[in-house]
Amino acid sequence: MPVGNRVFLKRELPDKELVKAFSELPAANVADAMGRLCALHSDIKLMSSPSKKMCGVALT
């Protein structure tokens, strides 16, 4: 099966402590440190008003 069409049923997740450490950093700083790879375009804006910050892992 081609690389782009594989389905992984299990994946390793980062430690909860690492995710918590990232929660203290501004998203733009993290994106800059990653060379802007895997970051949303700045034109994409939040459409709601959550009362809490969100930080976690994502499967994209």
**The pLDDT value given to residue 26:** 86
CB atoms under 10 Å from CB of 29, counted, come to 9
18 pLDDT exceeds 90? Answer: yes
The answer to whether residue 34 sits within a structural domain is yes
The answer to whether residue 58 sits within a structural domain is no
Distance, in Å, from the CA atom of 27 to the CA atom of 6, rounded to the nearest integer, reads 29
The answer to whether residue 22 sits within a structural domain is yes
Helix (H, G, I), strand (E, B) or coil at 59: coil
Residue labelled with tokens 């930080």: 55
The parent domain of residue 27 ranges over: 13-43
Domain count, the chain: 1
Q: What is the pTM of this model?
A: 0.57
The answer to whether residue 23 sits within a structural domain is yes
For residue 20, name the pLDDT band (cuts at 50, 70, 90). Answer: very high
